[in-house]
């Protein structure tokens, strides 16, 4: 087991979170494992987040503050990675917080062979403590993050659920997209790791985002999801793990997102058919969405029959009417 000589760099992108920032930073600095480097990247905040970060740097020498014009969370994390000097990297979102003992828990389970620690995003996970080598990571562990046999939601891929050896993420970066920006980095970290340790306890507290795409229209959704699919496919190929099983699981995720694309465009797009058609064409939905696949999907949601038949406008009108009813009651 490793001792306190292991240094952990905690990268926290910050943007207009003055109401939550103290709770986030305090939860890190007050950890009972103290060999931490806390990197705060102020991403062009227009509230008092920047000065709050500066005050922490004055009070605690473990805190580094970097300021940049607003470029988004991906650019902020990349800047943090550039300046990180720790043996391991941890990411935290600035409106979230962690419970006492998280890093002590990690370090007490580490040995020199561990490239990656994964802990489940939910405290209700049924995962058990386990260690995986490179072969079992790519053949078994990674599957639920790529897709599911029944076209259900994949296991979430937040980078805050990882503790990553700095050695394996050399040359990696976050791509400048707004949707699923974690997924590409997360999957590449899994593919680069020679050893992975799963720890079942979750110390991380996630604060739901009221502006998330699940609640609001995003004009970037179709583009970003398509980019994510393409990059994941390239990663599987470049790391020589694009097996028939993983290809099938990945295709299932592409299909499932077609439905979320339609729902998103119904929320506020001025030209919903344009972006839906682009996603359909760029992701080869004509080949992927077979009648066999559709039959499985219809059992869970009859609207998939409308999608397969091309009755997208009718479906969009359904979603829009439902939204109007919700707005009326709210």
Enclosing domain of residue 269:
221-329
Residue 40, domain member (yes or no): yes
Q: Could you read off the pLDDT of 124-169 as tens digits, one per residue?
A: 677 899 999 999 999 999 999 999 988 878 889 999 999 999 999 9
Q: Could you read off the pLDDT of 58-112 as tens digits, one per residue?
A: 999 999 999 999 999 999 999 999 999 999 999 999 999 999 999 999 999 998 8
Residue 216, domain member (yes or no): no
Residues 59 and 172 in one domain: yes
Number of domains in the chain: 2
Q: What pLDDT, on the 0 to 100 scale, is given for residue 212?
A: 55
d(CA 193, CA 114): 8
- Say which CATH number the domain at 149 has: 3.90.550.10
Residues 201 and 226 in one domain: no
Residues 159 and 251 in one domain: no
Kindly state the tokens that stand for 191.
């593919």
Query: Any idea which residue has 């991906």 for tokens?
Result: 74
Q: Could you read off the pLDDT of 41-68 as tens digits, one per residue?
A: 999 999 999 999 999 999 999 999 999 9
Residue 100, domain member (yes or no): yes
**End-of-domain residue from the set 174, 205, 236:** 205
Residue 94, domain member (yes or no): yes
Residue 109, domain member (yes or no): yes
Residue 26 has pLDDT above 70, yes or no: yes
Q: Where are the beta strands (DSSP E) in 88-220?
A: 88-91, 97-98, 116-118, 130-133, 162-165, 195-198, 204-205
0.85 exceeded by pTM: yes
Is 156 within 8 Å of 121 (Cβ atoms)? yes
Residues 121 and 176 in one domain: yes
Residue 256, domain member (yes or no): yes
Band the pLDDT of 323: cuts 50, 70, 90.
low
Residue 130, domain member (yes or no): yes
Dihedral-angle region of residue 169 (phi above 0 means left; psi in -120 to 50 means alpha; beta otherwise): alpha
Residue 3, domain member (yes or no): no
Q: Could you read off the pLDDT of 220-242 as tens digits, one per residue?
A: 999 999 999 999 999 999 999 99
Is 11 within 8 Å of 81 (Cβ atoms)? yes
Mean pLDDT confidence for 272-288: 93
Residues 174 and 129 in one domain: yes
d(CA 273, CA 281): 12
Residues 178 and 231 in one domain: no
């Amino acid at each position: 087991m490793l001792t306190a000589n292991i240094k952990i760099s905690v990268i926290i992108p910050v943007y207009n979170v003055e109401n939550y920032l103290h709770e986030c930073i305090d939860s890190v600095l007050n950890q009972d494992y103290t060999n931490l480097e806390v990197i705060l990247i102020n991403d062009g905040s227009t509230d008092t987040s920047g000065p709050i970060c500066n005050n922490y740097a004055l009070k605690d020498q473990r805190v580094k503050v970097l300021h940049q014009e607003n470029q988004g969370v991906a650019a902020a994390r990349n800047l943090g990675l550039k300046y990180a000097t720790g043996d391991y990297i941890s990411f935290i979102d600035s409106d979230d917080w962690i419970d006492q003992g998280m890093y002590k828990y990690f370090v007490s389970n580490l040995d020199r062979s561990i490239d990656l620690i994964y802990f489940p995003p939910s405290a209700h996970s049924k995962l058990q403590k386990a260690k995986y080598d490179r072969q079992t990571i790519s053949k078994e562990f990674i599957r639920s993050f790529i897709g599911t046999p029944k076209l259900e939601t994949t296991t979430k891929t937040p980078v805050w659920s990882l503790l990553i050896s700095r050695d394996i993420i050399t040359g990696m970066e976050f791509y400048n997209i707004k949707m699923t920006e974690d997924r590409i980095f997360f999957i590449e970290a899994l593919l680069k790791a020679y050893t992975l340790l799963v720890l079942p306890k979750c110390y991380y507290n996630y604060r739901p985002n009221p502006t998330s795409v699940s609640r609001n229209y995003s004009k970037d959704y179709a583009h970003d999801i398509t980019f994510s699919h393409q990059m994941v496919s390239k990663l599987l190929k470049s790391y020589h793990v694009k097996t028939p099983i993983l290809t099938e699981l990945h295709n299932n995720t592409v299909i499932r997102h077609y439905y979320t694309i339609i729902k998103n465009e119904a929320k506020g797009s001025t030209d919903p058919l344009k972006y839906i058609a682009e996603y359909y064409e760029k992701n080869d939905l004509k080949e992927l969405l077979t009648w066999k696949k559709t039959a499985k999907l219809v059992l869970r949601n009859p609207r998939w029959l409308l999608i397969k038949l091309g009755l997208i406008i009718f479906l969009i009108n359904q979603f829009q009417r439902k939204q109007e009813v919700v707005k009326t009651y709210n």
